[in-house]
Amino acid sequence: EAQLVQSGGGLVQPGGSLRLSCAASGFTVTDNYMGWVRQAPRRGLEWVSVISGGGGTHYADSVKGRFTISRDTSKNTVYLQMNSLRGEDTAVYYCARGHHYGSGRWGNADVWGQGTTVTVSS
Amino acid sequence: DIVMTQSPLSLPVTPGEPASISCRSSQSLLQSNGYNYLDWYLQKPGQSPQLLIYFGSHRAAGVPDRFSGSGSGTDFTLKISTVEAEDVGVYYCMQALQTPGTFGPGTKVDIK
């Protein structure tokens, strides 16, 4: 069974950094198009970043230059490195397995992690 | 970015009755290959989102057949033929035609 287990959330001060992890089992991350989606408190879903099977990456404008998506094939894990964090980054972050439609387009996300909470506050 | 809207934003339902949610996009989601790049997700209370429909009308694996998606271009509909109590939650549409993907604001479905 395909599964994603997330870790790494927590409380961080504005301007700080945090790394989220998303460990996959039942499938290989390099054979899939992995993404991060976040949900601010009492808000809807927001697409954050995706990484293709070939390692190509794409970011929402709101996080470009501050967040970096990557993966470790030996650990079958995807990461989201978050730097220069702001209050508006406070959210539950979900990783998900999707399908690649070309040119960074990602959808049909059929496996989701349990979510991890990031709180940016002084 | 493509803007997604949904209606209604709140939908009280009666178990055993049908329900319908509308989703509209600011640009056509129909590509030349004939596919509409539109997903539907359900986020049950306290849970992660789960995929219901992709390409506008393709039911995801394991999704009950009471859920169906229809529409093309800029107008889409998610229908539940017979609502069950376990269907409560927030339903989101998402366009996957352009990067970044964008979600609708969500439709909260609860029991009357």
- Contact predicate A80/A48, CB 8 Å: yes
**Rg of the Cα atoms in chain A:** 13
A93 touches chain B (CB under 8 A): no
Q: State the greatest distance between any 2 C-alpha atoms of chain A, in Å, as a whole number.
A: 40
- Contact predicate A34/A22, CB 8 Å: yes
Looking at residue B26, its pLDDT comes to 98
Looking at residue A25, its pLDDT comes to 97
Looking at residue A100, its pLDDT comes to 84
**3-state class of B92 per DSSP?**
strand
Looking at residue A103, its pLDDT comes to 78
Q: Map tokens 């959808």 to a residue.
A: A107
A106 touches chain B (CB under 8 A): yes
B62's tokens: 């394991």
B5's tokens: 């809207």
Dihedral sign from CA coordinates of A78, A82, A86, A87: positive
* Record: contact A61-B102, CB cut-off 8 A: no
Mutation test of the interface with chain A: which of B30, B33, B51, choosing the one with the most A Cβ atoms within 10 A? Answer: B51
A7 touches chain B (CB under 8 A): no
Give the C-alpha separation, A117 to B83, whole Å. Answer: 31
Identity of the residue in B48, B61, B101 whose CB atom sits nearest the CB atom of A94? B48
pLDDT in tens, chain A (122 residues): 999 999 999 999 999 999 999 999 999 999 999 999 999 998 889 999 999 988 999 999 999 999 999 999 999 999 999 999 999 999 999 999 999 888 778 999 999 999 999 999 99
At B66-104, the pLDDT tens digits run: 999 999 999 999 999 999 999 999 999 999 999 999 999
Looking at residue B27, its pLDDT comes to 97
Beta strands A67-72 and A57-59 are: unpaired
Q: Cα–Cα distances in Å, from B43 out to A16, A24, A84, B73?
A: 30, 21, 29, 25
B-chain residues near A61 (CB < 8 A): 100
Give the C-alpha separation, A108 to A75, whole Å. Answer: 24
Extended beta strands in A32-83, E state: 33-39, 45-51, 57-59, 67-72, 77-82
Give the C-alpha separation, B39 to B52, whole Å. Answer: 8
- Contact predicate A79/A22, CB 8 Å: yes
